[in-house]
Amino acid sequence: MANVDGSWETVAKTPMGDQKATLTVVSSGDTFTGDFNGAMGSAEVKDGKVDGDTLTWKMDITVPMPLSLDCEATVDGDSMEGKVTAGAFGSFPLTGVRKS
């Protein structure tokens, strides 16, 4: 199992431009908790799962509108790459670098 814990500086490439946020990951076996904080607010990680080097989680946001997001990222050392799916709005690339 990869070391997924830490504070990650992430960027999601969305139709509203690059959305930067800090993702905090605290794993426990095959699950994780944390939060996602950025310019558009913060959200708690829900249903966080760890499968080897892959993280999956859900978040509920309210800005720019109420949405449930499905997220997936694969950790490779101190970087991650994945996607954020925003229902009918489609999926957007997500990248991140561990800062601690």
What local confidence, expressed as pLDDT, does residue 1 receive?
A: 56
Torsion of Cα atoms, 64 then 25 then 8 then 4, to 10°: -140
The residue extents of the domains of the chain are 6-91
pLDDT of 5-40, one tens digit each?
A: 999 999 999 988 999 999 999 999 999 999 999 988
What local confidence, expressed as pLDDT, does residue 100 receive?
A: 83
CA distance 90 to 50: 23
Instruction: Give the pLDDT mean for 46-62.
Output: 96
- Residue 87, exposed/middle/buried by CB under 10 A (0-12, 13-18, 19+)? exposed
Q: Can you say whether the dihedral through the CA atoms of 6, 96, 39, 35 is positive or negative? A: negative
What local confidence, expressed as pLDDT, does residue 15 receive?
A: 86
